[in-house]
A and B are shown apart, each in its own frame.
Chain A
Amino acid sequence: MGVIFLIVIYGVPLLWLAATSLKDNRAIFANPGGIVFSPSFQAYAQMAREGTLGRAALNSAIISIGTTALTLLLGIPTAYGLDRVRGATLTVGLGVLVLLQMIPQTATIIPLYRVLGAWRLLGTLPGVVLADTALYLPFTVLVLRPFVGGIPREIEEAAAMDGARTRTAFLRIIVPLLANGIATAASLVFILAWGEFLYAISILTSPDTYPISALISQQISAYGASWSGLMALAVIGSLPILVVFVVAQRRLASGLSLGAVK
């Protein structure tokens, strides 16, 4: 019974999102709360005509994939090194990561803007990737660490007795064993980066380079009246999340509670 309630309060808004994107804009204007309507693809057609969607989707993809790749590249060795080094370094390292995670985005954007400016990365997508990676790297390491912790040291010792160097052991043995953790972390970072918009609108100068999330955030202020357009954009912008969700639902659920809590 209570579960039905949950399904309603989490299902109805999503349903409404899709439904509104299929409404005619004038109908929305007249009655935003109307339940009966005749479907129209007007909003989607208009988006296709204007062509902004394709560009924005590409920007989103570049930012999200780039950020995910870079965070994993930096985060996997770090999670491994931190877990295996133990002792004071581990405690300090974790402490620093947890503290970094607490800093609000609005705090870091101000000086980050200046740092990226000095490196001439303002207005560029790589600049956003660098900023997003710095933002999500602590989280990634914290999510990956329990997975590294789950790999017994005996495996590395066995590899050493077979004559393997640490780096070989790491690449050939540890990383494949971390596949689960990597998939979890990748899903989470991708989702987060896909929705990130503050760094994007602050660092990027031309709307041509905006990712979908930034477009949506700006649409509110600029085009208050075009709800169907906004909802259509939101629906398209949510599709990758749907894909990641369908593929990785169980990982998301366990990775969240496991990594964030421990």
Chain B
Amino acid sequence: MADSKLPKSALSRRVYLIYIIPAGIYLLLLALYPFVNLLWMSLSNVTTLNIVRGSWPFRGLSNFVALGHLSDFVLAFRNTLVFVLIVVSVGMLGGLGAATLLQVKGRLSAVGLGLMVFTWAMPPVVLGSLWKFLLLPGGLVNSILATLHLSKGPLWLVQENLVLVSVALVNSWAVIPFSALVYRAALIDIPVELLDASSVDGATPVQRFLRIKMPLLLPITLILTVLTVVYAFRSFDFIYVMTYGGPGVASTTLPFLSYRLSFINYKYSLGASVAVFTVVIVFILAFVYVRALRRTEQT
């Protein structure tokens, strides 16, 4: 009779675990094992000769030490930090701003929200290609700037001191809808009575925003920050399509560097080292943020 009723206690746990097994095995083989492989690669010397077959000579941490001396790595690290900073700040502030603007009900809001969500859903290769075109020296953006007599029209994707920012801004643009959706849901959750009561007490919209909305939005902001930071660190598609890391390494971030080292320079071990380094940084950052989140939840 045991198998004709809902199992209880230890037996029931076993049944539920069975449901997890297929995905567990799958991820073990195609996600966890490759990751361990990556770690091993970063600690050995892997070349085109021994990547598929053959054994890898162990090299300890020498690859990581070599990275420290590689100017491309240092530059890529700095670029990644700048990139993440831009995408997180513009992406989240833009999202909050958009969510606030979209609180107004009506057709226009619906259209605006729809366009934003659709943009988010589009493949990054398409969006990146589109903006590459828009940011051409004679492209639409510069045409508009010229018509408004604002600027001669910078070389967005060519000037070394501008490339990274340009790609970061495009990436932010693509990511704002996500933050906007999250903030929109959070704003809707704020009890109307709270806001009405404060109006009665004479609070201005700005005060309402700063004193009531922002503190209530703090937990969601922290979660969103973790997600956006992780996303920005991993971001690869836009750079690949818009600038291919260039000119030189002006727009190379850590993920792109690891790709280039492995697939263009065939320096698999170095590429793996950069990748492991990136993952470690991301893990640490996420850990720190989750800690902060727990603390705010306790207060």
Please report A residues at the B interface, Cβ cutoff 8 Å.
Answer: 2-7, 9-11, 13-14, 16-17, 20, 31-35, 74-75, 77-78, 80-82, 84-85, 87, 89, 93, 96, 98-112, 114-115, 117-118, 130-131, 133-135, 137-138, 141, 156-157, 159-161, 163, 165-166, 169-170, 191, 194-195, 197-198, 202, 213, 216-217, 219-221, 227, 230-231, 234, 237-238, 241-242, 244-245, 249, 252-254, 256-258, 260-261
Contact = CB atoms under 8 A, between A and B. Distances in A.
A160 B244 contact: no
B276 to A, nearest CB: 7
A235 B74 CA distance: 38
Interface stretch (B192-200, B201-209, B258-266): B258-266
A99 B5 contact: no
B17 interface: yes
25 contacts: A2-B101, A6-B101, A7-B108, A10-B119, A10-B177, A13-B131, A32-B139, A33-B143, A77-B22, A80-B19, A102-B234, A104-B275, A107-B278, A109-B259, A110-B275, A114-B37, A159-B6, A160-B6, A194-B123, A213-B125, A219-B129, A242-B118, A252-B117, A257-B185, A261-B224
Nearest to B7: A166
B133 A110 contact: no
A217 B143 contact: no
Interface stretch (B60-68, B210-218, B279-287): B279-287
B16 A78 contact: no
Interface string B21-40: 01110110111111101100
Contacts of B34: 108, 111-112, 114-115
A112 B27 CA distance: 12
B98 A107 contact: no
B256 interface: yes
B297 interface: no
Given A77-B23, A110-B275, A159-B6, A7 B30 contact: no
Given A13-B130, A14-B118, A134 B30 contact: yes
A261 B220 contact: yes
Contacts of A81: 16-20
B140 A75 contact: no
Instruction: Among B30, B127, B142, B240, find the residue whose CB has the most chain A CB atoms closer than 10 A.
Output: B30
A20 B133 contact: yes
A176 to B, nearest CB: 17
Nearest to A242: B118
A239 B124 CA distance: 14
Contact of B234 (A4, A104, A213, A261): A104
Contacts of B118: 14, 241-242, 245
Nearest to A235: B126
B165 interface: no
Contacts of A213: 123, 125-126
A4 B134 contact: no
Interface of B: 3-7, 13, 15-20, 22-24, 26-27, 29-35, 37-38, 41, 51-52, 97-98, 101-102, 104, 108-109, 111-119, 121-127, 129-134, 136, 138-144, 173, 177-178, 181-182, 184-185, 220, 223-224, 227, 230, 233-234, 236-237, 240-241, 244, 254-256, 258-259, 262-263, 268, 271-272, 275-276, 278-279, 282-283, 286
A256 B185 CA distance: 11
A195 B101 contact: no
A16 B122 CA distance: 15
B228 to A, nearest CB: 11
A234 B258 contact: no
B217 to A, nearest CB: 12
Contacts of B224: 261
A131 B30 CA distance: 7
Nearest to A112: B34
Contact of A110 (B26, B41, B97, B254): B41
A89 to B, nearest CB: 7
